[in-house]
Amino acid sequence: MNKTELIDAIAEKSGLSKKASEDALKATLEAITEAVKKDDKVVLVGFGTFYAKERKAREGRNPATGKKIKIKASKSPAFKAGKSFKDQLN
């Protein structure tokens, strides 16, 4: 399912127009992104948790040359599925 299909599904299930559904989805994603950027967790009970994961600085290798390189510390977005969501898949 891509973004357009998701907007269509939201509109169908909620009774909102496609434009309102698109605005709601955009606002939701922006709110989640902003919270995670501030190192806050976004917990949607039963669905899952969005959070930023710290990656320590480490040594790696350039796959083309095999030469050692230093990789800086960074943050990456992460998602942990909630129990209810996991249970629905099985």
At residue 83, the pLDDT reads 94
CA distances from 23 to 16, 28, 39, 85 (A): 10, 9, 25, 25
- Sorted by sequence, the CB contacts under 8 Å of residue 61 that are 6+ apart come out as 67, 68, 69
Q: Tell me, yes or no, whether 64 and 86 share the same domain.
A: yes
35-68 pLDDT, tens digit per residue, is 999 999 999 999 999 999 999 999 999 999 989 9
pLDDT range class, residue 86, cuts 50, 70, 90? very high
Q: Tell me, yes or no, whether 27 and 48 share the same domain.
A: no
pLDDT range class, residue 90, cuts 50, 70, 90? confident
Q: Tell me, yes or no, whether 89 and 76 share the same domain.
A: yes
**36, 76 contact by CB (below 8 A):** no
Q: Which residues pair with 78 in a beta bridge?
A: 51
Q: Tell me, yes or no, whether 4 and 44 share the same domain.
A: no
Q: Tell me, yes or no, whether 86 and 64 share the same domain.
A: yes
- Distance from C-alpha of 85 to C-alpha of 83, rounded to nearest angstrom: 5
Average pLDDT over residues 25-29: 97
